[in-house]
């Protein structure tokens, strides 16, 4: 007699939350529409119909800017984006080159797109602490592995999902945590471990068969891929981390790392190691030079600091060119709104033959702030519903679904759960621009299979690559 298989818990997300003030328009949009109406009414009262027609050159564009959307984004959001891109393009800030003779201090990390220098410090336990003085944060990175999820039975999958939820709940209760990032990337270099073992266990006097096998391993390094999962956690600094509180900050970070490792273990996620300053070079370089990192000699400790940062970066409108790769970053504009299996991201993460970085960035919100935002959203919905009723506009199910999601969040907060602001980013990497377009098409198809809506970011590929491809917990776009 076969056992009855229980269905696993389904995953479902709410609609994208966009603050509205009147009839689905945001505050800035309402401002443009209000100015347009004011100009039109003033023209009618002063000069009649002729003035109304003549002033159309003024109120017409304002009304269009306030009401029209292009590619799912209001025109009022396109204006600053395009203006910023034009300014950066004309001033040459879309290109960054590093001279071969440039030598960086071992304790500093310089990356294009980040103002100033990041300090690389060491905690008492040996973990690399990436300190950003401008934002007042310190970030640590953990390498994480698991025993698998897709082939588990539904009960095991539910247990692991519940354990991951407890990890997020634990992080949300830590007041010093600013941000947590989960990064899963596929890159060349899957045979690196085998090559390292072979170098350690063979000698130069080995027979010809051993040399032939070494050549095969070098060739396999270019053909095989490696899958890497990293978790970055960013915490607040009380004072200058390079000053008197450096030791205290490191001890606090080590304590948080220990708690996080224990919580991840309960979810069958194992922290194989916390990234040290000696390992940081390979972690950062893989985002800029995947082909070079795959064939680099990781056993040479003198390469640690010379490998930090790219040699060159060229930002284009819809893609980014780095040392040996071309990248395009997507934003997950909409997650599945219907119940999906917990493995719904499998087409994006485990698709063979593609190099992608899937990143989830989450910022814990204090309960008081989350409740204020929920109440604001409820007031906006009720006010908008009242305005729609006055003008005779039919209520649509999209607004009702958004209101139901707000009520669910409020109920979860009242029950003691935490609340996060989160976003998903996907970076597609290829050797050439032609290969990139092919890979982007495959990624969009995989996203459709996962019931996710992707939007290719434009005018901000540099910042998007920093947030999506580097485990630095840089923040939400």
Contact 436, 465 (CB under 8 A): no
Alpha carbons 142 and 65: distance in angstroms, whole number: 45
Answer yes or no: do 269 and 241 share one domain.
yes
For residues 185 and 428, give the distance between their C-alpha atoms in angstroms, rounded to a whole number: 10
Which H/E stretch holds residue 461?
helix 461-469
Residue 202 within a domain: no
Question: Is 15 inside a domain boundary?
Answer: no
Last residue of a domain, one of 57, 73, 93: 93
Check whether residue 84 and residue 185 sit in a common domain: no
Q: Which domain holds residue 75?
A: 21-93
Alpha-helical regions (H) of 224-273: 246-266
DSSP conformation class of 10: P
Q: In the prediction, which pLDDT does 180 show?
A: 94
Residues 261 and 407 in one domain: yes
Contact 354, 442 (CB under 8 A): yes
Query: Same domain for 229 and 139?
Result: yes
Q: Which three-class secondary structure string do you get for the chain? A: CCCCCCCCCCECCCCCCCCCCECCECHHHHHHHHHHHHHHHHHHHHHHHHHHHHCHHHHHHHHHHHHCEECCEEHHHHHHHHHHHHHHHHCCCCEEECCCCCCCCCCEECCCCCCCCEEEEECCCCCEEEEECCCCEEEEEEEEEECCCCCCCHHHHHHHHHHHHHHHHHHHCCCCEEEEEEEEEEEECCCHHHHHHHHHHCCCCCCHHHHHHHHHHHHHHHHCEEEEEEEEEEEECCCCCCCCCHHHHHHHHHHHHHHHHHHHHHCCEEEEEECCHHHHHHHHHCCCCHHHHHHCCCCCHHHCCCCCCCCEEEECCCCEECCCCEEEEEEEEECCCCCECCCCCHHHHCCCCCEEEEEEEEEEECHHHHHHHHHHHHHHHHHHHHHHHHHCCCCCHHHHHHHHHHHHHHHHHHCCCCEEEEEEEEEEEECCHHHHHHHHHHHHHHHHHCCCEEEECCCCHHHHHHHHHCCCCCCCC
Do the beta carbons of residue 351 and residue 446 sit within 8 Å? yes
Burial track 398-420 (b if 16+ CB lie within 10 A, e otherwise): ebeebbebbeebbeebeeeebbb
> Does residue 430 lie within any of the structural domains?
yes
Domain membership of residue 194 (yes or no) is no
- Give the Cα separation of 106 and 279 in Å (integer): 13
Distance CA 278, CA 302 (A): 9
Q: For 311, phi and psi rounded to 5 degrees?
A: -80, -30
Q: For CA atoms 50, 51, 52, 56, give the dihedral sign.
A: positive
Other C-beta atoms within 10 Å of 191: how many?
A: 21
Q: Please give the pLDDT value at position 394.
A: 72
135 domain-assigned: yes
pLDDT at position 469: 92
Query: What's the pTM value of the predicted model, to 2 decimals?
Result: 0.84
Q: Which of 93, 119, 139 is the endpoint of a domain?
A: 93
Distance CA 429, CA 467 (A): 15
Nearest Cα to Cα of residue 73 among 63, 65, 84: 65
**What is the structure's pLDDT at 5?**
45
**pLDDT, position 476:** 67
Report which of 71, 59, 86, 75 is spatially closest to residue 26, judged by C-alpha positions. Answer: 75
In a domain, 412, yes or no: yes
Residues 38 and 163 occupy one common structural domain: no
Residues 131 and 166 in one domain: yes
Distance CA 294, CA 286 (A): 8
How high is the pLDDT of residue 4? 42
Successive 10-residue mean pLDDT values, the chain, 477 residues: 49 69 74 85 83 82 82 83 90 80 69 83 89 89 87 84 86 89 81 64 67 68 74 81 61 89 89 90 87 60 56 90 92 86 86 84 86 84 78 73 82 80 92 91 92 92 92 80
Determine, yes or no, domain membership for 434. Answer: yes
Residue 3 lies in a domain: no
41 and 161 share one domain: no
In this structure, are 305 and 370 located in the same domain? Answer: yes
- Cα 46 from Cα 54, distance rounded (Å): 12
Residues 360 and 433 in one domain: yes
How do strand 453-456 and strand 269-274 relate by DSSP bridges?
A: unpaired
Which of these three, 33, 60, 93, is where a domain ends? 93
Q: Are residues 36 and 178 in the same domain?
A: no
Q: CA–CA separation, 348 vs 403, rounded Å?
A: 30
Are residue 112 and residue 88 in the same domain, yes or no?
no
Q: How many domains does the chain have?
A: 2
Please give the pLDDT value at position 241: 46
Strand partners, 226: 187
């Amino acid at each position: 007699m076969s056992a009855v298989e229980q269905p696993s818990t389904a995953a479902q997300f709410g609609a994208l939350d966009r603050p509205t003030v009147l009839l689905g328009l945001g505050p800035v949009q309402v401002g443009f529409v209000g100015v347009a109406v004011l100009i039109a009414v003033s023209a009618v009262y002063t000069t009649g119909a002729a003035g109304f027609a003549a002033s159309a050159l003024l109120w017409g564009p304002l009304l269009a800017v306030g009401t029209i959307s292009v590619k799912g984004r209001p025109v009022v959001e396109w204006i600053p984006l395009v203006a910023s891109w034009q300014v950066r393009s004309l001033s040459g800030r879309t290109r960054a080159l590093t001279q071969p003779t440039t030598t960086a201090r071992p304790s500093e990390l310089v990356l294009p797109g980040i103002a100033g220098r990041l300090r690389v410090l060491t905690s008492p336990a040996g973990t690399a602490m990436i300190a950003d003085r401008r934002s007042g944060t310190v970030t640590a990175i953990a390498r994480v592995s698991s025993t698998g999820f897709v082939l588990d039975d539904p009960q095991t999958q539910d247990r692991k999902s519940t354990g991951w939820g407890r990890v997020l709940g634990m992080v949300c209760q830590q007041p010093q945590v600013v941000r947590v990032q989960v990064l899963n990337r596929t890159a060349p270099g899957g045979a690196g471990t085998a090559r390292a073992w072979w170098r350690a266990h063979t000698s130069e006097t080995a027979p010809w068969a051993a040399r032939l096998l070494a050549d095969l391993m070098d060739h396999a390094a270019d053909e095989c891929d490696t899958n890497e999962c990293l978790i970055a956690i960013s915490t607040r600094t009380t004072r200058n981390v390079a000053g008197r509180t450096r030791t205290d900050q490191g001890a606090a970070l080590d304590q948080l790392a220990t708690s996080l490792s224990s919580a991840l273990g309960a979810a069958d996620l194992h922290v194989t190691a916390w990234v040290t300053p000696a390992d940081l070079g390979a972690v950062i370089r893989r985002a800029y030079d995947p082909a070079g990192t795959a064939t680099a000699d990781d056993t040479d400790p003198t390469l640690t600091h010379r490998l930090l940062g790219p040699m060159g970066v060229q930002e284009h409108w819809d893609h980014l060119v780095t040392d040996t790769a071309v990248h395009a970053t997507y934003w997950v504009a909409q997650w599945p709104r219907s119940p999906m299996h917990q493995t719904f991201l499998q087409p994006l993460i485990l698709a063979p033959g593609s190099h992608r970085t899937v990143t989830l960035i989450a910022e814990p919100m204090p309960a008081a702030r989350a409740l204020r935002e929920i109440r604001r959203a409820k007031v906006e919905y009720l006010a908008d519903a009242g305005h729609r009723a006055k003008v005779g506009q039919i209520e649509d199910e999209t607004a009702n679904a958004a209101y139901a999601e707000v009520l669910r969040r409020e109920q979860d907060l009242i029950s003691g759960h935490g609340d996060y602001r989160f976003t998903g980013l996907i970076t597609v990497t290829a050797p050439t621009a032609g290969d990139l377009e092919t890979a982007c098409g495959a990624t969009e198809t995989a996203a459709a299979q996962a019931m996710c809506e992707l939007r290719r970011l434009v005018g901000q590929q540099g910042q998007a690559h920093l947030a999506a491809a580097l485990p630095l917990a840089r923040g939400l776009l």
